[in-house]
Every structure is written in C-alpha cells, then in structure tokens.
A and B are shown apart, each in its own frame.
Chain A
Amino acid sequence: GDSVTQMEGPVTLSEEAFLTINCTYTATGYPSLFWYVQYPGEGLQLLLKATKADDKGSNKGFEATYRKETTSFHLEKGSVQVSDSAVYFCALNFNKFYFGSGTKLNVKP
C-alpha cells in the first residue's frame, strides 16, 4: 500500500546551518507530495507541495523536489533560523492522504 517514510528526529542544528530532512514514498500511482509543518502549540500547516515529477515546491526558503526515479521528496533549507524549530511531516496524496511520522527540528542560536 501507499506509505511515507521520513528520517527520525530530533534533528538539532545551529542557526544558519544547512538542513536536509529525508522523505521517501511508496505509491501505486502518481501522487501529489507535501511537506506540512507544526510549530509548537499550533496546528499543521502546509509548507510546500509538488504535484508531478520534477516539480520543485518552495516556500520560506525551504525547497523540495519530486523525484520519481528515487521516489523521494527531501526537504532542504540553506540556512535555518531559530524560528524554524518545529515538527515537519512529509505526506502524499493519491486516493487518500498518508503522512510520515514527523521529524522534530531544533535550531539553537
């Protein structure tokens, strides 16, 4: 069945460090791919999305490219800030939405 696997956390980085959170997926068709973010005390909100192979989603300095050949949608940011500390969820949607287990990011000043 469809599923999403993302790297376990927590990930702890210093401010201005480079971030990568790995996400791979299994899908029977051609899903849309999403990254959602949950800031402390808040609900999930969409960070970025890509709807077909080779699409790049981007928002707030974060990027992710839909790689069909490696079934991946890794999240990257060139320079993280303390305010990026949150839990990040990779998700796919084909017939229904499937979420990864989340990766907690801690950014220290």
Chain B
Amino acid sequence: GAGVSQSPRYKVAKRGQDVALRCDPISGHVSLFWYQQALGQGPEFLTYFQNEAQLDKSGLPSDRFFAERPEGSVSTLKIQRTQQEDSAVYLCASIKTSGTLFNEQFFGPGTRLTVL
C-alpha cells in the first residue's frame, strides 16, 4: 500500500505518561501535517513540516506537545505527561509538494489516544 500509515492505531495511556505517535507519509511527499480531532469535531491543525523543517507549530496546544521529522520522511508526535483532555484522534496528512494551497492532502487512518 502506498498510503499514509500511522501507528499505533489505538493507544491507552495513564495520566502522566509520555506517548509517541508515528506517521509514515507517502514516499516522497514533501509536506506533512499533524491534526487533533476531538470526538464529533473536525480536525484541528497542530503543526506542519516541509521536509525536515517544522515551518508552523502554532497549533500545538502546550509545550507538552512536540513533533519532529528529522530525515524529512517519518514523523513522530510526542506528548509528555498526558492529560485527559489530550484524548482524541491524532491524524497525519501529507502533500506531494511544498505548495500546499491547491493540493490534496492524503490522510492516514489516525491514532486514537485515550488517557485514563
């Protein structure tokens, strides 16, 4: 399959634990996005990478959230000291080019995070 993949698909964490969520974009895709989707809501932007450069992290809700894409392909979203309000589906999407205005995002299936 050549789509965007995410792992794990489901994650249950105890409050205060650190978690790491992985995204494998479509091979060769330059742009990568992370979103947070609360139950019954649309995706909300977290952060954006162009290759390995994190160009926009304005959507990260707190300094407990950290994302990286060190080699410009796989990306990891890390959440430290998880809180119950972090419970959501975390979506990753990629775009083939650096020009994102007109282009289609390809979404992964998401990671459903539940914080107890």
Contact = CB atoms under 8 A, between A and B. Distances in A.
Contacts of A17: none
B25 interface: no
Nearest to B47: A96
A58 to B, nearest CB: 15
- Interface residues of chain B: helix, strand, loop or mixed (majority): loop
A43 B109 contact: yes
Of B4, B45, B56, B101, most buried by chain A (CB within 10 Å of CB) is B101
B61 to A, nearest CB: 15
Interface residues of B, number: 24
Contacts of B107: 36, 43-45
Interface in B71-116: 91, 93, 100-102, 104-105, 107-110
A43 B100 CA distance: 20
A62 interface: no
Contacts of A93: 100-101
Of A42, A44, A46, most buried by chain B (CB within 10 Å of CB) is A44
B42 interface: yes
Interface of A: 4, 32, 36, 42-46, 49, 51, 89, 91, 93-94, 96-102
Interface of B: 4, 33, 35, 40-45, 48, 56, 58-59, 91, 93, 100-102, 104-105, 107-110
18 contacts: A43-B107, A43-B108, A43-B110, A44-B93, A45-B107, A51-B101, A89-B42, A93-B101, A94-B101, A96-B45, A96-B56, A96-B59, A97-B33, A97-B45, A99-B42, A99-B44, A101-B41, A102-B41
